[in-house]
Structure 1
C-alpha cells in the first residue's frame, strides 16, 4: 500500500511540475503609467508592414539597433521617442517611448 501511495504522489507531483507555468522565463513585463500612454493614431510612427528600407528613408538611421534574435528573427530599432519592431524586413509594431 505504501508503494502505491508513493507512486501516486510522485505522479501527481510530476503532473503539477509539468503544468505549472515558469514565470519570467518567456517574456518581460513592461509597465507604462496610464498618464504616460499616448494615442498612437496621433503620432507619426512607422506603420505595420513597412519595410526597413522605407523606415530608414523616412526616419533616418536609428540611434541603436538590437537583434535579430529568435525564429522568426525579431529586431528593434530605437529612435529616441519611439521603437520599431521588425520581423525579418517588415514592421510588426511601433511603440512610443515613455516621456520622462
Structure 2
C-alpha cells in the first residue's frame, strides 16, 4: 500500500509539473513582451547656472537677504512647522523656521 501511495504521489506531481510548464510556455509565447528603457536628459547650461546661484538648502534668512537683497514680497508664515515664502524677481525661496528648504524659479 505504501508503494502504491508513493507511485500515485509521483504521478500526480509529474502531471502537475508538466501542466504548469506547458501552460507557462504557452503563456510566454502569446504574451506581448515589453521593454523598459531609461532616457537621461542632460541639464541645460541655464539650469546649471541657476542652480549654482540659487539660495542653498540650509541658508538662514539673514544670509539670503544679505546675498540677494530684500525680497519683493514676503508672504505671511503659515503652519507647523512654520513655512515662509519670499518672492524675488526670478525665483521664490521657501523657508522652514528660518532656513531655506527649497527654491523655485519662475517660468519666463
Q: What TM-score comes out, normalization by structure 2 length?
A: 0.54
Partner of residue 3, structure 1? none
Instruction: Choose from 65, 75, 87 the match for 1:66.
Output: 75
Partner deviation per Cα, 1:46-85 (whole Å, 9 max, x = no partner): 0000000000000000000112100000000000100000
Partner of residue 49, structure 2? 42
- Residue 87 of structure 1 and its aligned partner are, at CA, apart by 0.2
Q: What is the alpha-carbon distance in structure 2 between the residues aligned to residue 90 and residue 52 of structure 1? A: 6
Detail structure 1 runs of 4+ shifted over 4 Å in the superposition.
Answer: none
Partner of residue 6, structure 2? none
Q: Unmatched 5+ residue regions in structure 2?
A: 1-45
- Residue 45 of structure 1 and its aligned partner are, at CA, apart by 1.2
Q: Secondary structure of the equivalent of 1:57?
A: helix
Q: Unmatched 5+ residue regions in structure 1?
A: 1-37
Instruction: Find out whether 1:98 has 2:68 as its counterpart.
Output: no
Aligned residues, how many?
Answer: 61
Looking at secondary structure, tell me which structure has more helix per residue. Answer: 2
**Larger Rg over CA atoms:** 2
Instruction: Find out whether 1:84 has 2:93 as its counterpart.
Output: yes
Let me know the Cα RMSD of the aligned residues. 1.1
Q: What TM-score comes out, normalization by structure 1 length?
A: 0.58
